[in-house]
Amino acid sequence: MKSKTNYIGINQRVPFDVLDEAIQLFLKSGPINRAYIIGRMQEYNAGINRATKAATYLFQILNSQEKILDLFKKDLKDSDYQSLRIEERKVFCLCLICLKYPITYDLLVALAQTFKVQDQINKRLLIEKVKFKYGGNRTVDVAIDALVPMIIELNTIIREKVGLYSKAMPVVVKNKFISELIIYTDISLSGSKSILSDDLAVKPWFSYFEIDNKNLVKFNVLIERKESVVGKGYLYKL
């Protein structure tokens, strides 16, 4: 597989409604009917070719994170995925997308860093920041065109007007598994083997979320906490 820096992998929007429904179906019964998903994608795409391509990206997201989906299913026990708040389901989808297509994570980190010093960012600057890491080829422009509507839909940024964006309010996350997945995603994609518990308040990725403090006490599914000799808590992937 290509390195995270070079891998882009997506050039078409995957609508939240369809991904959300696909996750629900997967958690209930496992493998999903591909023809059904292509049909759903046709509601958002003109032409069977575009719908088929969007469906391919959706299946890539699910298939690449099957282990996480299986762990989530066990964690939900008798609860239904749809009973979760839609805001939390959007965070879950966002993490899955980032883990499959890390350019999504890098885009959000670049945006968060910008929003620390200014309230809005235009599309030109946004593209420049991503191209600084991924290179100046047309593939990056196409990926950003696909990803920006997705991250707007997933409550991370707000479109103020054409080509101008601001940061959305942090999403309150109370579900413990999703809280762990947020941290797991950052450790996986930031190049770190671990992060300090204190870093959750300052790292750019975490500015999009407000994790319930009760979920920071004990980790046991995706993340484990270890105390260091100097008394600081480190978080590691299991």
pLDDT in tens, 59-98: 999 999 999 999 999 999 878 899 999 999 999 999 999 9
Token pair recorded at residue 59: 């299946």
CA 197 to chain centre: 20
Q: Three-state SS for 46?
A: coil
Residue with tokens 């991924």: 134
Mean pLDDT value of segment 154-162:
97
Cβ atoms of 234 and 222 closer than 8 Å = no
What pLDDT shows up at residue 219?
86
pLDDT in tens, 170-217: 999 999 999 999 999 999 999 888 999 888 989 999 999 999 888 887
Strands (E), the chain: 120-122, 157-161, 164-167, 171-173, 194-196, 209-211, 223-227, 233-237
Under the banding of pLDDT at 50, 70 and 90, the label for residue 162 is very high
pLDDT in tens, 3-55: 444 689 999 999 999 999 999 999 998 889 999 999 999 999 989 999 999 99
Cβ atoms of 42 and 48 closer than 8 Å = yes
Q: Exposed e or buried b for every residue in 168-199, given b needs 16+ CB within 10 A?
A: eeebebebbbbbbbbbbbbbbbbeeebbeeeb
Under the banding of pLDDT at 50, 70 and 90, the label for residue 108 is very high
Rounded to two decimals, what is the model's pTM? 0.94
Number of CB atoms found within 10 A of residue 114's CB: 18
Helix or strand holding residue 41 (H, E): helix 34-41
